[in-house]
Amino acid sequence: MITKQRQFTLLVIIVFITSVLSAQRAAEKPFDLENDLLLLHYDFKTDVDDLHSAAAFATLANTKAFSGVNFHAVSGTYGMQAGLYVPPNKLCKLAFGTNWSDADADFENAVNEVTTKAIAIIKNGGAIWIAEGGQSDFSAALLKAIKKQLPQFESQKRYHVVQHSDWNEETTTPSSLSYVKSNAHYQKIPDGNATGNGTPGFRADDNITLELFLNAKMLPIWQLAIALANAYNGEEGRYLNTSMKAGGLDFSDFSEVCWILGISEFKDQTDYFKWVKVNTNQ
């Protein structure tokens, strides 16, 4: 049983964490919708949650507030973890169109593609923001490629990496993680799998009737993401996502996107879908 003293202590800790995070955000230069580039890095190995996270972002990019966000997604940004890849290509094509590179198929080519996009943004005065939906190996390689062409690039001010997962850090190649932490503006935020810690919690076992919230354009993206996730979840030694197994959703990596874009309206999945319904042309 949790005593009143224990409850009070937990409340104080939560308030403190929230205050620190708010102060940290206030001190930062926010994402500039007109000039900055948002990179969505997904490892797709071996948890299937990136599939739902990709659908969550595609939906956000279809809303009135964020339809103009400049983004590019990269699949296969995995690090040292063992296990099988979750093939996402069909979903990536549907969700991202041509704004997508495949690092699993050709790592070097993906680095070159994203470097070209990033340098154009940097030369125009913009910044690079990475929602790290996996390990930081690709982010390290990308930053090295940028610095090779732009040695004077102030990467600690204009190359932002946002990570929410301890496990993702632990399975990043140590030299890559060290490089990113030393040469980028690296931000570790609270885990997006849980609520009440300063970031939205986007993993739950509860089933959500998506037809109540999504328009005809976005619903097929979610249906495909869920179908692929169900097909690969726990299969052939892949990580078993118990929330998805129970019929729920997990787009926990999307918490990083919310952090980058300064979205504070969401506490959990329900808040997200209600907001999407109000802010999307049905």
Q: Residue written as tokens 């929230």?
A: 18
Torsional class of 131: left (φ above 0), alpha (ψ -120 to 50), beta (otherwise): beta
Q: Quick check: is 44 in a domain?
A: yes
Q: Quick check: is 5 in a domain?
A: no
The predicted pLDDT at position 29 comes to: 84
Q: How far is it, in rounded angstroms, from Cα 93 to Cα 65? A: 23
Q: Quick check: is 13 in a domain?
A: no
Q: Quick check: is 109 in a domain?
A: yes
The predicted pLDDT at position 7 comes to: 56
The predicted pLDDT at position 54 comes to: 98
Number of domains in the chain: 1
Q: Domain limits at 138?
A: 34-276
Q: Are 88 and 50 in contact (CB under 8 A)?
A: yes
- Domain with 143 in it: what CATH number? 3.90.245
Q: How far is it, in rounded angstroms, from Cα 259 to Cα 198? A: 10
The predicted pLDDT at position 281 comes to: 77
Q: Does pTM surpass 0.85?
A: yes
Q: Quick check: is 26 in a domain?
A: no
Q: Quick check: is 238 in a domain?
A: yes
Torsional class of 253: left (φ above 0), alpha (ψ -120 to 50), beta (otherwise): alpha
> How do the pLDDT tens digits run along the chain, 282 residues long?
555 555 555 554 544 554 444 444 444 689 999 999 999 999 999 999 999 999 999 999 999 999 999 999 999 999 999 999 999 999 999 999 999 999 999 999 999 999 999 999 999 999 999 999 999 999 999 999 999 999 999 999 999 999 999 999 999 999 999 999 999 999 999 999 999 999 999 999 999 999 999 999 999 999 999 999 999 999 999 999 999 999 999 999 999 999 999 999 999 999 999 999 999 976
Q: Quick check: is 219 in a domain?
A: yes
Q: Quick check: is 1 in a domain?
A: no
What are the φ/ψ torsions at residue 39 (nearest 5 degrees)? -105, 130
